[in-house]
């Protein structure tokens, strides 16, 4: 994890660095680990800080790991991380010389079930005291539960976007790599954590240092905040025809109120029959069938990631009734929406 444990940093010159390079402030960062947090998101956030310290040959960044109760926390890959303290202890530090400059909530799967009022209160107080607050991977969910994201922009992993948007309609959520809005830092997790921290290091220490961090991390560049998380639709689906790609984009933008095939055809400048022929050739199914599948895929994410009633999920995905939704869902996934939700609860119990 780190050469100096949960609270220290490694600053000894070594193969990665060669003494003093650059200036900049010292930051103390609290990584708040939520059960089932994403290890890849957390590691990609903390490692560039360690590398930056070695490159400049001094302690620009220090950090400590914290859990809600001070006990070790298991990531979603079942690897447990020991921590330096609890949220209660960190809250006392907010008015001391040990107060952090930044706090990142690191979470992952099942974040929707976090209802820790003491945690939310701590984050609100920290933010009100001028401390930057952030979320890694699904950490935006924690910040939104704390009431910090209303009317703000945030980034969250694309897989969690649908459930998040339905639960927090006043938050401007985007499937971008990272977002900074009014001292609130959020990222999509995975390698997006690396990009967010590289941007922070660049602001603190300059282009030369961040380029050297990139060299050590074997990444060729700092991706921009608004770069897409997923592959472009054309590459993701293996579709080459521009009209089919455009038709799918229109479908994905209109899931709650599905358009008719005639309307989609009009948008892409083709006849209904031409659209049908292209979909059969490029996608191996009719446009109506493909449209149904992406609506059901969204409903599956909502069933797994949100507490929304099933009838509301049906409406949000463009179905006229819960019974019609259940019929279509069972035909595609060979289980009912109720069984899908029950499977999520079983998975939660298995990691509890």
pLDDT by residue for the chain (352 residues), tens only, comes to 444 345 554 444 444 443 444 555 699 999 999 999 999 999 999 999 999 999 999 999 999 999 999 999 999 999 999 999 999 999 999 999 999 999 999 999 889 889 999 999 999 999 999 999 999 999 999 999 999 999 999 999 888 888 898 889 999 998 889 999 999 999 998 999 999 999 999 999 999 999 999 999 998 877 887 776 665 667 677 787 999 999 999 999 899 999 999 999 999 999 999 999 999 999 999 999 999 999 999 999 889 888 889 999 999 999 999 999 999 999 999 999 999 998 765 555 555 5
Whole-number pLDDT of residue 247: 95
Could you tell me the sign of the dihedral formed by the alpha carbons of 233, 239, 240, 245, in that order?
Answer: negative
Q: What is the DSSP letter of 90?
A: H
The CATH code belonging to domain 233-351 is: 1.10.10.60
Could you tell me the sign of the dihedral formed by the alpha carbons of 110, 136, 302, 68, in that order?
Answer: positive
CB 226 within 8 A of CB 176: yes
Give the pairing of strands 80-81 and 73-74: antiparallel
CB 114 within 8 A of CB 142: yes
- Measured between its terminal Cα atoms, the distance across the chain in Å is 24
Q: Considering the entire predicted model, what is its pTM?
A: 0.74
Q: How far is CA 294 from the centre of its chain?
A: 21
Domain ranges of the chain: 27-217, 233-351
CATH class of 27-217: alpha beta
Whole-number pLDDT of residue 228: 64
Whole-number pLDDT of residue 318: 95
Q: What is the pLDDT of residues 21-61, one digit of tens each?
A: 455 569 999 999 999 999 999 999 999 999 999 999 999 99
Whole-number pLDDT of residue 221: 77
Residue 154 forms beta bridges with which residues? 173
Using CA atoms, how far apart are residues 134 and 244, in angstroms rounded to an integer? 38
Whole-number pLDDT of residue 24: 59
């Amino acid at each position: 994890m780190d050469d100096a444990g949960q609270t220290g940093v490694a600053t000894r010159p070594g193969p990665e660095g060669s003494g003093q390079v650059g200036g900049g402030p010292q930051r103390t960062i609290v990584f708040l680990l939520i059960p089932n947090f994403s290890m890849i998101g957390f590691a990609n956030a903390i490692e560039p800080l360690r590398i930056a310290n070695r490159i400049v040959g001094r302690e620009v960044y220090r950090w400590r790991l914290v859990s809600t109760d001070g006990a070790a926390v298991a990531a979603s890959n079942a690897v447990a991380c020991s921590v330096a303290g609890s949220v209660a202890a960190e809250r006392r530090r907010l008015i001391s010389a040990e107060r952090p400059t930044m706090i990142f909530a690191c979470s992952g799967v099942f974040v929707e079930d976090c209802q820790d009022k003491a945690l939310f209160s701590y984050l609100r107080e920290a933010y009100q005291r001028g401390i930057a607050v952030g979320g890694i991977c699904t950490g935006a969910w924690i910040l939104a539960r704390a009431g910090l994201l209303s009317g703000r922009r945030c980034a969250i992993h694309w897989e969690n976007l649908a459930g998040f948007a339905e639960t927090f309609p006043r938050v401007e959520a985007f499937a971008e790599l990272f977002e900074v809005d009014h001292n609130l830092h959020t990222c999509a997790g995975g390698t997006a954590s690396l990009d967010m921290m590289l941007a922070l290091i660049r602001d603190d220490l300059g282009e030369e240092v961040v380029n050297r961090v990139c060299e050590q991390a074997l990444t060729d560049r700092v991706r921009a905040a608004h770069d897409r998380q997923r592959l472009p639709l054309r590459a993701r689906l293996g579709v080459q025809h521009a009209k089919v790609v455009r038709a799918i984009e229109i479908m994905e933008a209109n899931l709650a109120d599905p358009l008719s095939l005639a309307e989609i055809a009009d948008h892409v400048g083709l006849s209904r029959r031409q659209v049908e022929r292209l979909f059969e050739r490029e996608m191996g199914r009719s446009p109506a069938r493909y449209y149904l599948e992406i609506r059901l895929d969204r409903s599956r994410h909502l069933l797994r990631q949100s507490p929304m009633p099933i009838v509301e999920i049906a409406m949000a995905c463009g179905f006229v009734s819960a019974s019609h939704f259940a019929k279509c869902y069972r035909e595609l996934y060979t289980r009912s929406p109720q069984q899908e939700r029950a499977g999520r609860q079983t998975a939660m119990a298995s990691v509890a």
